[in-house]
Amino acid sequence: MERLQKVIASAGYTSRRKAEELIVAGKVSVNGKIVRELGTKVSGDDLILVNGESLEREDKVYFLLNKPRGVVSTVSDEANRKKVIDYINTNKRIYPIGRLDYDTTGLIILTNDGALANALMHPSHSVEKTYVAKLNRVMTPQDQKLLKQGVKVEGVKCIPTRVKVRKVDYEHDSCIVEITIVEGRNHIIKRVFESLGYLVDKLTRIQYGFLTLDNLKSGEYRALSIKEVKKLYEYSKK
């Protein structure tokens, strides 16, 4: 038996606080009866309606995938291209938290936990993400300085938390830059470098918050531990 507000929140319907408000406002019924007491406990067999809609209660699953190149991060694709969800063996309706471009590789989290996904994607709870970018030219010290100070993309400054030039190849005029940002605008890394006059030839996400790729090969995935999921929830409270 679990508390009603917890069950509503973990179904991804809304936050626990909002769930409490809904209960008190008489918007929640259990087995056909309106319930206004916050301490009410429910079991898996109880029929819960929120605002007249039945609450879907599925076990939550969480996966970390090393996304290969040439794969879309959406759950459906008109062009029938390979999708990130195709790599995960589950019968749950999972979706990725945020997106990586078709040609970007690396760490992506997939879940059916709408509450966590919404919380982590919300700009106010942005999580640090670290990328490794291969650029089409050696980056000048001046541009490195500009990048560290922050670069405007469509009028909004993106200030990296960390920037490190990992490798410089003068012979082929290219370099590898490690960059950490918190924001999540689409194509943000490519656009940041573009605004400084560089093209990103290759892009990999190596870290999402405290999570790293470790030994996962391209296309491989693993389930997150309960401890890791709890730690991800911590971000949404910050």
Q: Which residues are catalytic?
A: 101
**Minimum separation from the CB atom of position 58 to ligand URA (A):** 28
d(Cα 69, Cα 100) in Å, to the nearest integer?
10
Q: Least distance to ligand URA from the beta carbon of 14, Å?
A: 28
Q: Residue 143 or 183: which CB sits closer to ligand URA?
A: 183
Q: Shortest gap between Cβ of 75 and ligand URA (angstroms)?
A: 17
Interacting residue ranges for ligand URA, rule: CB under 6 A: 100-101, 104, 187-190, 203
29 or 195: CB nearest ligand URA: 195
Dihedral sign for Cα atoms in the order 122, 127, 128, 132: negative
Segments of the chain assigned E as strands? 2-3, 28-30, 33-34, 41-42, 48-50, 53-54, 62-67, 95-96, 105-111, 129-135, 151-153, 156-158, 162-169, 174-181, 200-208, 211-212, 221-223
Rounded to an integer, what distance in angstroms lies between the CA atom of residue 150 and that of residue 82? 35
Nearer to ligand URA, 175 or 190 (CB): 190
Give least dist CB 208 to ligand URA, A.
11
In the complex with ligand URA, the residue whose CB is nearer, 85 or 189, is 189
SS3 211: strand
